[in-house]
């Protein structure tokens, strides 16, 4: 009995630790390839890595529920908009920010992307930022965005 409890706690702890280590793509081209291969839309997080991101991070993005949902539903992409010596993609990231009409940070855009004749075409599915009500409420709103667009395409 004690071994079963210990095993269960170990499993839960490992899942919790795994949830905090998400595979965020930082190269949009790699993410588009993964999106195509896995037939999943992109979840693009536009961020400038400052304190305003912490609420979205702690209550949504760093939870086990989000990790499980994102693994099954989207390809994660994090685009840093903070100019600096370590941000070699700042111009491309800012261009995407303008193309998606992102004004407030952090902001998440859901999109499908295709490459034709070496040109990337994006189809915006919807946008979402921090949403009060916790991770379950946020996931419900995100799922509605993804499901609404999937129904339109049928």
pLDDT at 52 over 70: no
**Better pLDDT: 36 or 48:** 36
Report the CATH superfamily, name and number, of domain 23-153. Answer: Glutaredoxin (3.40.30.10)
Give the pLDDT confidence score for residue 110 in this predicted structure: 97
Give the pLDDT confidence score for residue 10 in this predicted structure: 53
Question: Are the C-beta atoms of residues 76 and 140 closer than 8 Å to each other?
Answer: no
Question: Alpha carbon 102 to chain centroid distance?
Answer: 15
Mean pLDDT of all residues in the chain? 83
CA distances from 85 to 24, 82, 88, 90 (A): 20, 10, 7, 10
Q: Where are the domains of the chain?
A: 23-153
Bridge partners of 78, per DSSP, are: 45
- DSSP code, position 23: -
pLDDT at 86 over 50: yes
pLDDT at 97 over 90: yes
Structure tokens at 146: 């993804």
**Better pLDDT: 22 or 97:** 97
């Amino acid at each position: 009995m004690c071994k079963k409890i210990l095993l269960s706690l170990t499993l839960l702890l490992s899942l919790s630790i795994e949830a905090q280590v998400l595979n965020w793509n930082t190269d949009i081209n790699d993410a588009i390839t993964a999106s195509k291969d896995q037939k999943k839309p992109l979840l693009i997080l536009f961020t400038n890595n400052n304190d305003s991101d912490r609420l979205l991070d702690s209550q949504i993005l760093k939870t086990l529920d989000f990790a499980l949902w994102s693994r099954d539903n989207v390809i994660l992409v994090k685009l840093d908009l903070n100019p600096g010596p370590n941000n070699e993609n700042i111009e491309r990231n800012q261009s995407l920010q303008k193309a998606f009409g992102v004004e407030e940070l952090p902001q998440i855009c859901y999109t499908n992307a295709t490459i034709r004749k070496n040109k990337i075409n994006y189809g915006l599915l919807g946008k979402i930022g921090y949403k009060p009500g916790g991770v379950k409420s946020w996931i419900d709103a995100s799922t509605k965005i993804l499901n609404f667009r999937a129904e339109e395409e049928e």
